[in-house]
């Protein structure tokens, strides 16, 4: 039995992006903060070595658009997988994919690449991705990846604009030999909070998705639809177990988070190593009162807007605060009062 630490880590290697997707939860492409600089290649490789040595079960290279730092992404993948245990995946919009890059991804040992396809035709996909030609580019990316023998899956973000196209997405997946479509609900965060509030699905719409998933499961199709519940981890981690985090993300500036929906960072790899933070600061973190106070109130995708409002109250759009700094500036009672005030804005 291999010695594995059962945790998952996502590495956002850049906030740079060649798209300005209407629904981007972290507003990629708009992070022009002069006071911060993204991790260098050297820092990313050191991070990758620590992830390798702590034996994560899986690492995901995300962004921004990771193909904008393709050389670093490939090297990180090679380092992480060199322990023979950790698997590495990538998430991409596909625009920059070529046959040569797809082959390099295969050779670097990536287990899976997830491409985003948010419509069964150019009109809907290009609308959400906010770039003309994106639909045809992502289909070419799928061709390149599958031809190179890279396991590929499709992610689909349903909205009022494209809900009727989920069956069409499955047909495209089947055409290209892809057996998994991940449905990931529209999160009212980042640019989505500015652009797409009126396109959020209703409870009835989500019921329709549930029916489609059931029908797909019991059809003769080789394609499976997987529901990606963004709320589930907060419910499970705060109510089950000892509160240790089994999922962690590192943003392009080196800040470490346990959830993209809670605007509190635990540490920064420039202050303490990733290994130190994993072995010390993340123990029991989901039982921390400041974390629980946010997590217990985000019970639906619509309430993810709590993060946006907290960010603005704390310092501005996409602002977040270090956990230790928060505890020094505000008592738990004051933090709870702030959360209740923010919730009133939503309701």
pLDDT tens across the length of the chain (347 residues): 456 677 899 999 999 999 999 999 888 988 765 557 899 999 999 999 999 999 999 999 999 999 999 999 999 999 999 999 999 999 999 999 999 999 999 999 999 999 999 999 999 999 999 999 999 999 999 999 999 999 999 999 999 999 999 999 999 999 999 999 999 988 888 899 889 999 999 989 988 998 988 998 889 889 999 998 777 888 788 887 778 888 899 999 999 999 878 889 999 999 999 999 988 888 889 999 999 999 988 887 778 888 888 888 887 666 788 999 999 999 999 999 999 999 998 87
Give CA–CA dist 34/238, Å, rounded.
36
Q: Of 205, 228, 251, which residue is a domain's last? A: 228
Residues paired with 23 in a beta bridge: none
Does residue 224 share a domain with residue 94? yes
The DSSP 8-state label assigned to residue 121 in this structure reads S
| Residue numbers of the domain that contains 58 | 5-228
Residues 55 and 126 in one domain: yes
Same domain (yes/no): 188, 243: no
Question: Which stretch of DSSP H or E encloses residue 309?
Answer: helix 305-314
Residue for token digits 């991705």? 129
- For the chain, the domain total comes to 2
Q: Tell me which H or E stretch contains 45.
A: helix 41-53
- Please give the Cα distance from 12 to 63 (Å, whole number): 4
Question: Which domain CATH number covers 205?
Answer: 3.20.20.70
* Local structure of 57: helix, strand or coil: strand
Q: What is the pLDDT of residue 1?
A: 41
| Other Cβ atoms within 10 Å of 238 Cβ, number | 17
The model's pTM is 0.91
The pLDDT assigned to 253 comes to 93
Q: Examine the domain organization and report whether 23 and 169 are in the same domain.
A: yes
Q: Looking at the structure, tell me whether residues 212 and 95 fall in a common domain.
A: yes
Q: Is residue 171 located within the same domain as residue 241? A: no
Does residue 287 share a domain with residue 216?
no
**Cα–Cα distance list, 7 to 15, 51, 54, 231, 305 (Å):** 24, 10, 9, 18, 27
């Amino acid at each position: 039995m291999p010695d594995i630490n059962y945790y998952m880590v996502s590495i956002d290697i850049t906030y740079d992006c060649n798209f300005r997707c209407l629904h981007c939860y972290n507003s990629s492409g708009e992070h022009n903060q002069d006071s911060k600089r993204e991790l260098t290649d050297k820092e990313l490789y050191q991070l990758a070595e620590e992830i390798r040595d702590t034996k994560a079960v899986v690492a995901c290279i995300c962004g921004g658009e990771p193909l904008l730092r393709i050389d670093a992404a490939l090297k990180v993948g090679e380092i992480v997988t060199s322990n023979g245990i950790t698997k590495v995946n990538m998430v991409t919009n596909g625009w920059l994919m070529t046959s040569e890059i797809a082959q390099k991804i295969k050779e670097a040992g990536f287990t899976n690449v997830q491409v985003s396809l948010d419509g069964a035709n150019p009109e809907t996909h290009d609308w959400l991705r906010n770039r003309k030609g994106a639909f045809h580019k992502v289909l070419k990316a799928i061709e390149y990846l599958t031809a190179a023998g890279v396991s590929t899956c499709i992610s689909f973000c349903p909205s009022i604009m494209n809900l009727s196209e989920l069956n069409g997405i499955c047909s495209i997946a089947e055409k290209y030999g892809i057996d998994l479509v991940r449905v990931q609900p529209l999160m009212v965060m980042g640019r989505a909070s500015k652009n797409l509030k009126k396109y959020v699905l209703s409870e009835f719409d989500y019921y329709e998705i549930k029916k489609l998933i059931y029908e797909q499961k019991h059809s003769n199709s080789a394609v499976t639809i997987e529901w990606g519940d963004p709320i589930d981890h907060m419910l499970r981690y705060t109510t089950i177990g000892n509160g240790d985090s089994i999922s962690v993300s590192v943003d392009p500036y080196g800040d470490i988070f346990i959830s993209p929906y809670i605007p509190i960072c635990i540490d920064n790899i420039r202050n303490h190593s990733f290994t130190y933070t994993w072995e010390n600061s993340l123990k029991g973190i989901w039982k921390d009162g400041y974390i629980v106070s946010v997590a217990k109130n985000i019970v639906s995708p619509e309430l993810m807007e709590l993060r946006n409002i907290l960010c603005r109250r704390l310092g501005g759009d996409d602002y977040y605060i270090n956990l230790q700094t928060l505890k020094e500036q505000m008592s738990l009672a004051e933090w709870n009062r702030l959360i209740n005030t923010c919730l009133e804005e939503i309701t």
